[in-house]
Each structure stands twice: as C-alpha cells, then as structure tokens.
Amino acid sequence: RIKQYTPTMSTKVRILEHRVKFFDDREDEVNDCRNDGDYKKWLQGKTAAGVVVQGTSQQESITFRVEGAAVKGFARTNKTSKFYITVNTETLVIGDFEVGEHEFTFDKQEIEDIAAARAKWSLESTFHDADGKKFCKRESSFEIVGPK
C-alpha cells in the first residue's frame, strides 16, 4: 500500500542553538549547532555542562529552523534515567510554527536540594511533532552535586 503524501512529510526542524542559563556564578552554556560537526557533537551530549548544582536554577532556550512545511505540535520529550532505570518521562508541547527561524525559552528549573537526587543521570531529549515524527534525539548525562 502506498502512503498518501501530506505536506508535513516534508517538514524538517533543525536545532540551531541550545543555551542553558545558570542563575549562579557559572557562564551560560551556549551550543551553536549551525555547523554539522557541532550539531552532531551536541546530539551526542558531548557539549553538556555535566554538573548540576543543587539549590540553584537554570533555564534552557533553543533557536530552531522549520523547513519544507509548517510544524504542528512541535514538542520535546525528556526521558530521565538513573542507573539505567527511567524515572521520569515528560513531554512539553512547544507549539505550531511556520517555515522560518524561531526561538523558545523553557520554564526556569529549580534544582532541589534533596540528598537522594545526588547521582549521575542520563537524559534523552527527543524533538518531534504531534504525529510523532522525530526531528532529532539528543543523549547526554549529568551529575547532581550538593551546594557549594
């Protein structure tokens, strides 16, 4: 059976920049993903800060480009794992976007000061549309440490 062509089949979304703003004395983590080599490193989590400090806050933002056709229900699903066990899966619908370059700022995250959270974590972030079409998947790891 032949699949009927729909305009969203040609939709592509490319992350151009991923930024993490830290609300302590650390510099922002800025990942410019416009070049293919840097984009690949970002997808592999090689550019992640790696350390999250309890009792602080951070806020992520992305710049992305929609190509081909508008994207409906653009979303990010984060799957957080500890010791290879998934402990949380959360999907945030970012919105509908026309062809072009866009920016989005996620809600500020408070890093709670709970001893049980201190560990090494894995994070898989998947960007997709309302129909489940994946645009990219990023795998990274981080460690939550106690306050300084």
User: pLDDT tens, 13-26?
Assistant: 999 999 999 998 88
Q: Retrieve residue 6's tokens.
A: 């729909």
Q: Retrieve residue 43's tokens.
A: 């997808």
* β partners of residue 12: 67
Provide the whole-model pTM: 0.87
User: Taking CA 123 as the corner, what is the angle to CA 56 and CA 120, rounded to the nearest 5 degrees?
Assistant: 65
Which residues, in sequence order, are CB contacts of 137 under 8 Å at separation 6+? 43, 124, 125, 126, 127
Q: Percent of the chain scored above 90 by pLDDT?
A: 68
Contact predicate 16/34, CB 8 Å: yes
d(CA 124, CA 23): 23
User: pLDDT tens, 72-99?
Assistant: 999 999 999 998 899 999 999 999 999 9
d(CA 118, CA 144): 5
Contact predicate 148/57, CB 8 Å: no
